[in-house]
Structure 1
């Protein structure tokens, strides 16, 4: 029998997840929760930008939980832990890109209790964090002896991110440097990236201090820069960098970083994406040192990414492909360390 899936929220990740569930041979999309009443009653396939599939969206949590389902792909912009607990208590597994990649032990007793009561499983996934930051560094670290430093870093043209309200009001692009540095963005990101760094520290056995060193930098435009939120004017923030470091003494041993630029032209201080262009890098320094570069997770042109961003799609697929493994797992909060290797599936027409 196919695993019955409800999609929770239809932003960029949610729409991509709908496509992935429909194509996955082991899954069946049976429902969808939407935040907007305007989307309620609409066919979910149409909401995802495709053809009708005969599944209708609801904006009511009670109606969504009443659907006979096995798993929820939980992908709202901001997670609601109490809501996730209700989903788990209803006996639905939850796979999500918005948190719980490596929860701090004892920090989420209600979620643990909800899993036990519902016989359900919670798994945090994604890309960065949720894959690039911890899963792939741990994977390639098995090729290395005497590791001294692990780095996971993103280099992206953020204009391709199709969420203008987030870019302006949360990421604080287009703000003054003072406003951007005082924004809650570093704190919001640290919840995910900090725990991802801690997973690598713990699993590889680094004697790192419990507190991370968190830094952020900004660059401003020197001329108007076209963007999804309108032109970034001279003096307004057009590039941001965040970095999280686990330290042994004063020596960084695990680093996660993001470099988000509004292109490479007209940035103060000569900020660029580097010779490699847009990419994700995973590097483990040791004997031997290994560098892994991910390409294809950013669009060739930023305008293309506004409608369909490969990184957003990959985030959704990392969740969707995890569903069968999560569904077979024992109840509880499960990380990558608790699950077997997760793989995708062959395309329709090529599968056995």
Structure 2
């Protein structure tokens, strides 16, 4: 059994606890929390399992890392604290742990990461013998291994488009929805998520990963952004009202330019209500999905819908992304120490898991 800790118990951490507990080759050894109010609570309670796991959450990072866990699922946020997140991850790697995380955007495409960031991780690997694999929660597999897999079914490929299409009304992170994404804000408000260069910082690595998998060179990465106001005030159960005239829909693209044309595109289409921007791409169900479109011959379109935590699609997306990370731990524990990306780490079948849920 691979001794594994989960560091963080937010949206990603809850799913990570469940994934580690369900994995036949992993053992949940500890759970680290930042909020003192969560310390002392059972991991099963924090993960919403409805029963205890016999693992008590703690905020004592030193004590947990002193046990030298073989693996760490780092689920703490890296959006507003990237330097702190990187320091945490490096500390775990130096202790010999295999670390998987979605929190370090710059390392999605580790070969083209900022040199100082990449070098600091490689030093930690050399010193401690640990490893690192970073993949996104938007979800990473939808912007790397899935489009590459599907491209292999085509005779010719003209362009690849990866879409996240979501209704945010049921999302349970109000600060992110209102301030990071900008829903409900005046139209002259600039959401941090779409400030110039930020989309490229977050999703550009995934564009480059696809290009590397296809054996082509991205000449440049461009960004495009569209926003639409609400035509009428709408009410949501989770976050209250969003007033007419404020931002109700956001669409942006991160475009990989190949041969002078946008050939590899990661696109997000998000709404707070389906009445806003009805002409934009949508999914059969209101809540949302992830979609990959291969423009070529034949044209191929694959839509993936996932739900968790009572049918929540956002939780489902998080859970599949976490599944990709947690299911990589066993492979990483057997591999040589190193810095890995999505093209290095295989997507493996759920061997040994069919019918073995411990929930």
TM-score between both structures, scaled by the size of structure 1: 0.89
Gapped regions of structure 2 (runs ≥ 5): none
Report the RMSD for the aligned CA atoms in angstroms: 2.4
**2:157 equivalent to 1:152:** no
1:46-85 maps to which residues of 2 (within 5 A)? 46-50=45-49, 51-78=51-78, 79=82, 80-85=85-90
Q: What CA deviation, in whole Å up to 9, does each residue of 1:84-114 have, x standing for no partner?
A: 1111101111011223222225351101111
What secondary structure is seen at the aligned counterpart in 2 of 1:176?
coil
Deviation, 1:28, is 0.4
Deviation, 1:215, is 1.2
Partner of residue 173, structure 1 = 183
Contact 2:324 2:347 in 1 (8 A): no
What secondary structure is seen at the aligned counterpart in 1 of 2:189?
helix
Partner of residue 161, structure 1 = 171
Moved more, 23-32 or 249-258: 249-258
Deviation, 1:263, is 2.2
Deviation, 1:47, is 1.4
Deviation, 1:241, is 1.0
Cα distance in 2 for partners of 1:215, 1:272 equals 14
Matching residue within 311, 320, 323 for 2:326: 320
Partner of residue 228, structure 2 = 219
Partner of residue 98, structure 1 = 103
Q: What CA deviation, in whole Å up to 9, does each residue of 1:46-70 have, x standing for no partner?
A: 1112312111112132122123411
Deviation, 1:127, is 4.5
Contact 1:214 1:244 in 2 (8 A): yes
Q: What CA deviation, in whole Å up to 9, does each residue of 1:106-128 have, x standing for no partner?
A: 35110111112111110012453
**2:2 equivalent to 1:12:** no
Matching residue within 108, 123, 128 for 1:118: 128
Cα distance in 2 for partners of 1:56, 1:271 equals 49
Deviation, 1:198, is 0.7
Cα distance in 2 for partners of 1:270, 1:350 equals 40
**2:294 equivalent to 1:289:** no
TM-score between both structures, scaled by the size of structure 2: 0.88
Residues 264, 8 of structure 1: alpha-carbon distance in 2 compared, 3 angstrom cutoff = same
Cα distance in 2 for partners of 1:159, 1:342 equals 33
Cα distance in 2 for partners of 1:184, 1:23 equals 33
Residues 191, 342 of structure 1: alpha-carbon distance in 2 compared, 3 angstrom cutoff = farther
Matching residue within 77, 86, 92 for 2:91: 86
Deviation, 1:21, is 0.9
Deviation, 1:202, is 2.0
Cα distance in 2 for partners of 1:341, 1:275 equals 26
Residues 185, 86 of structure 1: alpha-carbon distance in 2 compared, 3 angstrom cutoff = farther
